[in-house]
Each structure stands twice: as structure tokens, then as C-alpha cells.
Structure 1
Amino acid sequence: MPDPAIFPWFVVITHALTVFFMLMLARSGIEVLASFPKMYWNDGCPPGREWARFSTKMYGADSRRPWVSLDEEEAWNPVIAMPGRKNLGLGRHWHFMTVHFWIATGIVYIAMVFTSGRWHFLIPTEWSVVPDAIEAVGTYLQFELPAKLPGEPYNAVQKLTYFAVVFLLAPLQIITGAAMSPSVLARFPWYGKLFGGKQGARSIHFIGLCAFAGFVVIHTAMVIIHGLPLGFAKIVLGHETADRSLAVAIGTIALAAIVLIHVLLTVFARLRPRTAQHLLGVVVAPFEGVLSRLFTSRQRYTRADISEYHRVNGYPPVDPEYERMAADDFADYRLPVGGRVANPVSLSLAELRELGWATQICNHNCIQGWNSIAEWGGVPLERLVDLVSPDPDVTHVVFYAMDDKGLTEGEGRYGYFYEAVPIFLARHTQSLLALEMNGAPLPIEHGAPVRVRFETQLGYKMVKWIKAVEFVDDVSTIGLGQGGYREDQLYYANAAGI
């Protein structure tokens, strides 16, 4: 049995790293939450039926004034959000980059706990620890300190709490996080159902964040109550008998350094967002790319699953040409498809339908966090790819939209919307050029006359109001060169599988 008075180096180091990473995960998670500050238990997210709302903004399904989901976004302060002020793209970058290192830290910690024998101090092996923990809570409530378990560094309630945090709460955060990935949900629809759907997983994930926050507050208070110098001696220098003054000094400096690094990283992300996007993408992009390549959609929802309300993101085009076509039910609409292809074409809606037809009931996942289930009807994208016969060196398919974001979105952003996706996604199961939604012609607000569906990706890759399609071998010369309008303007990731 390890000496309970000694806290080995791996405990000291992983504890410090966990403090840093958990603060980063919490702040970046709050940035993600700010984009859709409402919590639901059921998929579909009908306005007004959220169980929690962290915003004064109110929008209804029957609102007379048109609204889009980005109108619900909040601009929270960088003190609490990472990096704050409507920076969802960078917030997600920080969150997904950090989770890699947090999980790696946890794996090292667990491995060392078992190889060193310290698991005896964390994992209860007798049911008697439960009544002992209840008795310890009662002792605390009498403003007294309960005794440690015989031969162990913790009392019973501490042991149960640490076990729950390490072996229950942390894994719960990981598995509920995975249940919000569009690629995971598309490939394994049953997985999301374990949590009642994506919104159930999202709500549990948020409650887990609150539980971690509560643990940190109570844990810090207990360290102070038990004696701050003693606590620093154990967790900083690794022994109860270590120099407590030195431990307090080192611990204080370490905490100050963590705060300072957070401040510097926040300032860096806000002043150099493009650099932050690229640097963080070094860690995040390969994982998302592999996820997008390996996972294909296997969704088979029923009509009974279709959501009663489907949010809209993005206002329709406002130029006179689009309005003229819409007034004429897009009778003279044609879709030009070209670029590095052997057979460029320009197709009417009727000619598109002749390529083949498919319907699918799938789960739409917006990057903001909401989702809805709908039936889409249209042309399997693979049919169009086969028709035009792309050159062997084609890497991406670019979808250009008719909406000028300078007119429909503003906020300092400009240019026509577009997105580029890897060519392999165009051949994935359920990749679709949609012309219908829920058995009717595609509504204007949802992308009429044509939008694209990639069911393993987030919604911003599914371009609406498509004007043209181009097959290319390089995306660096299109727009600002990041592979899409949201990537250009809001620093989103080019891969959108999580």
C-alpha cells in the first residue's frame, strides 16, 4: 500500500494540468453556449419550450418578424468566455484542442493510479464507506473535521467524491460530448438515443459542467477549512511534512501563472484570430478530417420523428434577380456545374430531377447547438459527380450561394456565401442536392430552389440558395482562402464533423 502522506509527482503534475485544462474547457464551453444560450431535453428545440435560458432575447415560432438562429447569439464577456464576444468558431477551436490534452492527462493519471497502487485511495471496495461518508458530512455540518479512513489520505466523503469525479463525472462529459457530434450521430443514430437525443446529451453535458464547477468551489473551500498551507504542501511539494511556506509561495505563483496564461491566450485569440485559427487547427483539423472521412450517415428516422419546428439560419437573398425567380417558382433557374471536370453542365430543376431521386429523414445539426429532424428529397450528389466526371486531381467541391452576407447579415462581414467540402463527402451516403423538404417544394427560408445536404457535417457546410457548383484542386484562391465563408469571416473549422 502506498504511503498516504506522500503525493507522488504524477499526482502533483496532473493536478496542475487539470486545473489549467478544466478552466480552458469551461471558458471555451461557455463561449459555445453563448451562441445558443438555451437548453432543451428534446430534439427539435421548439422556441419557448427550453428548460433553461441564459438570455433575455425571446423569439417565437409564430413571430411576425422574421428571425434566424444567429439572432439568438449572445456576446458574453471575455472574462468568462474564451475568447468572448461572439467568437463561436475560435471558442470551439479552443474547446476541442483542449479536450485532447485533458483526456491525455486523465489517461496518464489513471494509468499511474493503478500502476502505483493509489487506486486503493480512490476506489471504494466496501459498502461501509457510504455510511461513513454520511457520518463525515454530519461532522462537517457540526463545524468539525472528520477523521481520515485508516491508512488513507482522505476521509470517507472525500474518497467517494474523488471517485465520482474521476470515474463517473469526467467520463460522462466525454461520452455526452461525443453524442453532440453530427458525424457520430449520423453513423450511430442509436448512440444519441441513449441520452434522449442530442439535446438530452447537451443538457447533461451542461449539468456536468455545473457539477464540475460546484466540485471546484466545495473542494477549494474544504482545502481552506482543512488548512491551506497543509493542502499546498501535499499537492505542490508532494508531502504533508514539506515546507508549507515554500509550498504556499510556489502554489500561489502557479495559480497566478495559470490566470496570466489564460489572459494572454484570450488577448492573443482576439487580436490575432486568423493565427489562432490556424495554430489550433493543427490539433483539431486532422481529427475532424478523419471523423468526416470514416463516418458515413446511416440515419433512418421515421415521419413520426420529424420536428414540428425547424429553425432557420441565414436570411434569404435580397437581390431583385432572386426575388424575380422566386416569384416565378424558379421556372427558369439553372444550376451551372463546372471547374475541373470533363463534362460541364447547366441544369434546370427538371433536368436535375432526371438524374435520380432519393428521400431521407435526417437530423440537422447546427454549429450553434440546436438540431431538428426533417425529410429531404432531392438528387443524390454522387449522380451529379458521375455526370460531370471530375479530373483526378480534384480535391474539393465548392458550392456558391446567391446571398450577399453584407446585405443579409452585416456586422462587418461581407461577400457572397460559399462553402468547400472534400470531394469524398460528395460520394458519401445521403449526400444530397435537396429540392424538397417534408414532402413539399423547398421553402425559401430553407434554401429554395436548391440546397446541399451533408448529413455527417454541421449545418454551415450545407449551402442554401445554390447559384453554382465548382470542382477545384485548391481552395486557397477562393474567398479569403480558408475553405468557406464562415471559415473566412468567423474562423470556423473547415472540417465540420464535430
Structure 2
Amino acid sequence: MASAPTAAPPAAAAAPAPDAPAQPGPMLRGPMTVRQWAGASVVGILAIIGAATIVVQLTRWFLGLEFMQDFLATYPGETHLPDGAPVGLPAWLGWQHFFNVFLIVLIIRSGLQVRTERRPPASWTPRWAKGGQGRISLTLWFHQSLDILWLVNGLVFIVLLFATGQWMRVVPTSWEVLPNAVSAGLQYLSLDWPLENGWVNYNSLQVLAYFATIFIAAPLAAITGVRMSGLWPKRAATLSRLYPVEWARAVHFPVMLYFVAFIVVHVALVFLTGALRNLNHMYAAQDADGWLGFWIFVASIVVIAAAWFAARPSVLAPIAGVFGKVGR
């Protein structure tokens, strides 16, 4: 008896049709594509320009009111210096300015690296430590070493500031500094810069900014940095409880952001309110409109940029090895 032939399976059931190749989507840079980022940037810049224009026009309208004209006449934006205040800026202040900028730029850079670092390139251990105690990353060693140099430079600056009488230019000596600072700020916002001569006297807003930077922000950066560093005594349980490390972390980063904002505004105003003369004041210790201060400034930027790019593990490791043990 012959068996019935088996039916061949349908072709469609035998092999499913291959899927069409997926088309590559646009490449993302974070949450958006490059084109979207470009569009958002243009919109953001236009919005900032528009908002700034509105602020300037409203400020000019406000300053044009009669009572504000009387206010500007009473408080032009600066207060008189005490008798015996020095005139001009000495050469040591220019050198201090360079050292401070040099160190603070590298401190900000290394501080951000410490904050975002996941896998340190190397570690550093003090020579006197036993059993790996005191071991930190090479990046943190560099940051803390810069902090120490910055503190030494700051102490020298404070001593010279009071020894030469230059403190009178950056420390408020009258309550009139407050309304004058408001006046100077409104004049800045109106883009009608306050009349000033930094060689003789800073306007009141500058005085408050310099005072806050030197005598508030810098000490806060120092005392919070020490609390988070290896210099803090490990066995001081009571002191650690009174001054928790979480408090130091909560203050240290905002202080760094303040320094960044101060540098950005400071540099912008230096160039917008008479670059050559301001740079001569800051770097050449002379009240002139020549190019000497500018070229000293350019040279200082080159030095800072070179240090920025040189601050890498291959360069830092041999230096750190002089003061401790470098390893993985």
C-alpha cells in the first residue's frame, strides 16, 4: 500500500523575510543633536541679548527720574580715602597679582578634576606614613600643594597690604560705601560706566568686591579646604564633630564658583573700561596708556597656559616623588 505524499510547507512559512536594515538615527550629544544644540544656543544668545537690552533701558529710565538724579549727585559711586592713603600701585602688587592668578587658575582646574575623577592616574603617600595611611590621589596631592602655595602667597600679600597702607584702598572705612556701591552698580547696568581712576581710588562696588574676595571668600576657601584635606587631625573627634566635613564640602564648591564668577567679571571690566591703562596699573605699576602692561599680561597668560597643559601625571609624578611615594 503506497503512502500518501507529504505536502511541502509553504515558502512563506519556511523562511521569514529578512527585516529591512535599520536606518541610523541622528547622533546625539547629550539629550540633543548637534543641530538642536546649535539652535538652542542661538535662541539662548538672542534671549540673553534681549534681556540685557531690557535691563539696560529700564536702568537708564530709572536713573533719569528726579529723585535718582539727586541720589547720584549725593552718591557718585566712590567714597573718599582716609588721610595718608597711598597713591598708585606698587610693583610688588603686580607680582602678587600674577602669582595669585597663576595659582587660582590651577587650583580651580585641579579642584574640578578631583571632583569628577573616577579612577585616579596614580596615588601619593607621605614618606612618613605607615601601612598606606595618608594615601591620596596624585590629582588631590597637586590640588593640596597648590592650596599651600596659595596660602603662603596670600599671607605675604596680607602682610604687604597692611605694611604699605594699601589696605585703605580695599577695606571700607565708611558706611557711605554701601549707597555708593549701589550707585556704581546701577551705572554699570546702564552701560554708562562710573567715572573712576583706579590708580588713585577704586569705586565703592570694586572696594566691596575686593574686600569680599580677600577677607571673606579666600579665608572660607582656606578653612574648608583644610577640613577636607589630610592636614586635618584624624583623632580630633570633638573638633570634627563641631566642624563636620559635610559643612566644609557644602561651602567649598560654592566658594570656588564665586572665584570663577569674580575672575570672569573682573577680566571683562578690565578690558571694557580701558584695557591698556588697567593692564599698566595691574602689571607694570604705572599710570599710562602704553603697551608694556599688555605685553606683560600676554606673557603671564602664556606661562599660565603652559602650566595648565604641563600639569599631567607624567610631569607631576616625579615632582610628587620628591615629597612622598608615588604608585598605582
TM-score by length of 1: 0.43
Correspondence for 1:270: 313
Mapped partners of 2:256, 2:145: distance in 1: 17
Mapped partners of 1:110, 1:246: distance in 2: 27
Instruction: Return the letter of the residue paired with 1:244.
Output: G
Correspondence for 2:301: 255
Query: Are positions 1:10 and 2:53 aligned together?
Result: no
Question: Once the 2 structures are TM-superposed, how far is the Cα of residue 176 of structure 1 from its aligned partner?
Answer: 0.7
Instruction: Return the letter of the residue paired with 1:15.
Output: H
Structure 1 residues not aligned, in runs of 5+: 36-72, 77-87, 286-481, 490-498
Instruction: Return the letter of the residue paired with 2:206.
Output: Q
Give the direction of change, closer, same or farther, for the CA distance of 1:201–1:237 in structure 2 (3 Å limit): same
Give the fraction of aligned pairs with identical amino acids, expressed as a percent. Answer: 26
Mapped partners of 1:182, 1:256: distance in 2: 32
Structure 2 residues not aligned, in runs of 5+: 1-83, 122-135
Could you report, residue by residue, the CA deviation over 1:102-158 in whole angstroms, capped at 9, with x for unpaired residues?
111111111111010111111111111011111111111110112349994200000
TM-score by length of 2: 0.64
Mapped partners of 1:220, 1:121: distance in 2: 19
Q: Which has the higher helix share?
A: 2
Mapped partners of 1:211, 1:190: distance in 2: 31
Residue 264 of structure 2, aligned match among 211, 217, 224:
217
Question: Once the 2 structures are TM-superposed, how far is the Cα of residue 182 of structure 1 from its aligned partner?
Answer: 5.9
Give 1 or 2 for the bigger CA radius of gyration: 2
Query: Are positions 1:206 and 2:288 aligned together?
Result: no
Could you report, residue by residue, the CA deviation over 1:388-419 in whole angstroms, capped at 9, with x for unpaired residues?
xxxxxxxxxxxxxxxxxxxxxxxxxxxxxxxx
1:283-362 map, 5 Å: none
Correspondence for 1:159: 207
Correspondence for 2:13: none
Question: Once the 2 structures are TM-superposed, how far is the Cα of residue 180 of structure 1 from its aligned partner?
Answer: 1.7
Residues 21, 98 of structure 1: 8 Å contact kept: yes
Mapped partners of 1:207, 1:146: distance in 2: 29
Query: Are positions 1:174 and 2:222 aligned together?
Result: yes
Q: Which has the higher strand share?
A: 1
- Output the aligned Cα RMSD: 2.5
Question: Once the 2 structures are TM-superposed, how far is the Cα of residue 3 of structure 1 from its aligned partner?
Answer: 3.8
Mapped partners of 1:237, 1:186: distance in 2: 46
Residues 276, 293 of structure 2: 8 Å contact kept: yes
Q: Partner of 1:127: helix, strand, or coil?
A: coil
Structure 1 runs (4+) deviating above 3 angstroms are 147-152, 185-195
Give the direction of change, closer, same or farther, for the CA distance of 1:107–1:253 in structure 2 (3 Å limit): same
Could you report, residue by residue, the CA deviation over 1:354-392 in whole angstroms, capped at 9, with x for unpaired residues?
xxxxxxxxxxxxxxxxxxxxxxxxxxxxxxxxxxxxxxx
Residues 34, 75 of structure 1: 8 Å contact kept: no
Mapped partners of 1:227, 1:277: distance in 2: 42
Instruction: Return the letter of the residue paired with 2:318.
Output: T
Mapped partners of 1:247, 1:185: distance in 2: 45
Residue 237 of structure 1, aligned match among 284, 293, 298:
284
Mapped partners of 2:262, 2:202: distance in 1: 16
Give the direction of change, closer, same or farther, for the CA distance of 1:14–1:171 in structure 2 (3 Å limit): same
Correspondence for 1:488: 327
Residue 22 of structure 1, aligned match among 104, 108, 115:
104
Mapped partners of 2:283, 2:258: distance in 1: 25
